[in-house]
């Protein structure tokens, strides 16, 4: 999931896209016109060039974005119940932390590269928790990996070698159960291969450690999904076990997502592998090629654990003596090249939005504490 680059651009064909990749022109009847949908982060484009001392309409909304991902504290003064449009010192500090996490030049300004990265669809889980950057960018300096854990390093108990998961809420998606079972079995297998953990699907939520479901809008956990824009999914740290996917996304659960004709296609398995990482206790990583990097490029399949992901999960659960090591890239195209390609697609998408073209970019959500 690349930084400046990895937006999950998704086609609104959403629920309808299951085992096939539908072209944008073949949206099933009854689905909303993607052109009419707003993009929550597109207005950030107008803030490019802003720096400390500026006051510009929209900066308050960007502060809200920084707050959502843990980079800013919410205003505590009763006289200023919401974020204002002043580029103040706190905002500059937040932007510097963000830039450090995403490998950008640490300028403290809203330069073009930073704004572009912020507009990219991404996981909704916070990068900074309790004021501490959890993406590991600083830890690497001390010889540690770039992976991170949630505060307190919560993990599933050692006595639980097998975690049971149930796919419980599927009424909001048209993806069939057999396909969902296959996709999640494959996603969980990535994590079981590197550790001694085992995962098995069970039919009942009451019998499960982990519950997986598709939801739309406000679904009761304080992190409302926002339709085809914004977050794609989120998951909770151990031992909560809840993994939620936005039912409104254009999930691709079968076929080759890299060959999708639409630049909005998002691979369900790739998002599932990432969210399971949160379920097991991993936070976000600053390693661009890792599964736990916050963003995912559209039309990209990214399901193999990277070296950083393996170091992180083995640090929590120990290693599997039979683990063969990190798989080589599935294609001859390097992740960075794919990210670059994705970034290009993203840029086109944003221009498309500005021009009123039928393009929509979507982010995907992250783990909640």
Residues with a catalytic annotation lie at 275
Which of these ranges, 35-43, 236-244, 261-269, 308-316, lies near Zn ion under the rule CB under 5 A?
A: 236-244
Give the separation between CA 152 and CA 316, rounded to whole angstroms: 12
Q: Taking the complex as a whole, how short is the minimal distance between the CB of residue 224 and Zn ion, in angstroms? A: 8
Confirm or deny that 123 is annotated as ligand binding: yes
The residue among 119 and 123 lying less far from Zn ion, judged by its C-beta, is 123
The residue among 294 and 352 lying less far from Zn ion, judged by its C-beta, is 294
125 forms part of the interface with Zn ion (CB under 5 A):
yes
Which of these ranges, 71-79, 123-131, 326-334, 349-357, lies near Zn ion under the rule CB under 5 A?
A: 123-131
Which of these ranges, 7-15, 161-169, 179-187, 239-247, lies near Zn ion under the rule CB under 5 A?
A: 239-247
Which of these ranges, 10-18, 183-191, 240-248, 344-352, lies near Zn ion under the rule CB under 5 A?
A: 240-248
Which of these ranges, 54-62, 84-92, 122-130, 166-174, lies near Zn ion under the rule CB under 5 A?
A: 122-130
Nearest C-alpha neighbor of 252 from the set 263, 238, 239, 243 = 263
Nearest C-alpha neighbor of 316 from the set 339, 291, 283 = 283
Q: Which of 123, 210, 253, 341 binds Zn ion (CB under 5 A)?
A: 123
Residues 241, 202: contact at Cβ < 8 Å? no
The residue among 123 and 343 lying less far from Zn ion, judged by its C-beta, is 123
User: For the chain, what is the largest distance between any 2 Cα atoms, rounded to a whole number of angstroms?
Assistant: 60
337 forms part of the interface with Zn ion (CB under 5 A):
no
3 forms part of the interface with Zn ion (CB under 5 A):
no
The residue among 237 and 335 lying less far from Zn ion, judged by its C-beta, is 237
- Residues 4-33 interacting with Zn ion (rule: CB under 5 A): none
The residue among 221 and 256 lying less far from Zn ion, judged by its C-beta, is 221
Q: Taking the complex as a whole, how short is the minimal distance between the CB of residue 287 and Zn ion, in angstroms? A: 13
- Residues 212-231 interacting with Zn ion (rule: CB under 5 A): 221
The residue among 164 and 284 lying less far from Zn ion, judged by its C-beta, is 284
Q: Taking the complex as a whole, how short is the minimal distance between the CB of residue 281 and Zn ion, in angstroms? A: 12
164 forms part of the interface with Zn ion (CB under 5 A):
no
Q: Which of 3, 210, 253, 366 binds Zn ion (CB under 5 A)?
A: 366
Confirm or deny that 292 is annotated as ligand binding: yes
Give the separation between CA 124 and CA 276, rounded to whole angstroms: 14
Query: In this structure, what token pair is assigned to residue 129?
Result: 């928790």
Confirm or deny that 68 is annotated as ligand binding: no
Point out the annotated binding site for Zn(2+).
Answer: 123, 219, 221, 234, 244, 274, 278, 284, 292
Point out the annotated binding site for Ca(2+).
Answer: 209, 226-227, 246, 249
Binding site for Zn ion (CB under 5 A): 123, 125, 221, 244, 366
């Amino acid at each position: 999931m690349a930084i400046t680059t990895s937006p999950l651009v998704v086609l609104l064909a959403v629920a309808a896209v299951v085992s096939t990749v539908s072209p944008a022109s073949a949206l099933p009847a009854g689905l909303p016109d993607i052109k009419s949908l707003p993009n929550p982060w597109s207005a950030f484009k107008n803030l490019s060039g802003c720096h400390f001392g500026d006051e510009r309409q929209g900066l308050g909304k960007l502060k809200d974005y920084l707050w959502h991902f843990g980079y800013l504290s919410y205003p505590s003064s009763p006289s200023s119940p919401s974020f204002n449009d002043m580029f103040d010192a706190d905002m500059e500090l937040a932007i510097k932390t963000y830039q450090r996490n995403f490998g950008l030049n640490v300028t403290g300004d809203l330069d073009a590269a930073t704004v572009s990265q912020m507009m990219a669809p991404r996981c909704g889980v916070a990068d900074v928790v309790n004021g501490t950057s959890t993406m590991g960018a600083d830890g690497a300096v001390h010889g540690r990996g770039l992976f991170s854990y949630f505060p307190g390093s919560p993990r599933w108990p050692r006595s639980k070698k097998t975690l049971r998961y149930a796919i419980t809420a599927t009424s909001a998606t048209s993806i069939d159960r057999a396909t969902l079972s296959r996709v999640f079995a494959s996603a969980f297998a990535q994590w079981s291969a590197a550790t001694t953990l085992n995962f098995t699907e069970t039919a009942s939520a009451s019998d499960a450690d982990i519950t997986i479901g598709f939801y739309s809008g406000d679904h009761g956990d304080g992190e409302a999904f926002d339709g085809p824009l914004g977050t794609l999914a989120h998951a909770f740290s151990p031992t909560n076990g809840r993994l939620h996917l936005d039912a409104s996304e254009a999930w691709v659960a079968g076929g080759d997502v890299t060959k999708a004709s639409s630049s909005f296609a998002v691979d369900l398995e790739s998002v599932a592998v990432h969210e399971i990482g949160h379920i097991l206790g991993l936070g976000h990583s600053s390693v661009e090629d890792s599964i736990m990097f916050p963003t995912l490029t559209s039309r990209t399949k990214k399901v193999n654990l990277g070296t950083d992901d393996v170091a992180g999960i083995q640090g929590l659960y120990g290693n599997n003596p039979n683990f063969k090591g990190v798989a080589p890239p599935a294609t001859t195209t390097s992740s960075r090249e794919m990210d670059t390609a994705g970034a290009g697609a993203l840029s086109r998408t944003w221009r498309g939005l500005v021009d009123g073209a039928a393009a929509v970019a979507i982010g995907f959500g992250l783990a909640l504490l």
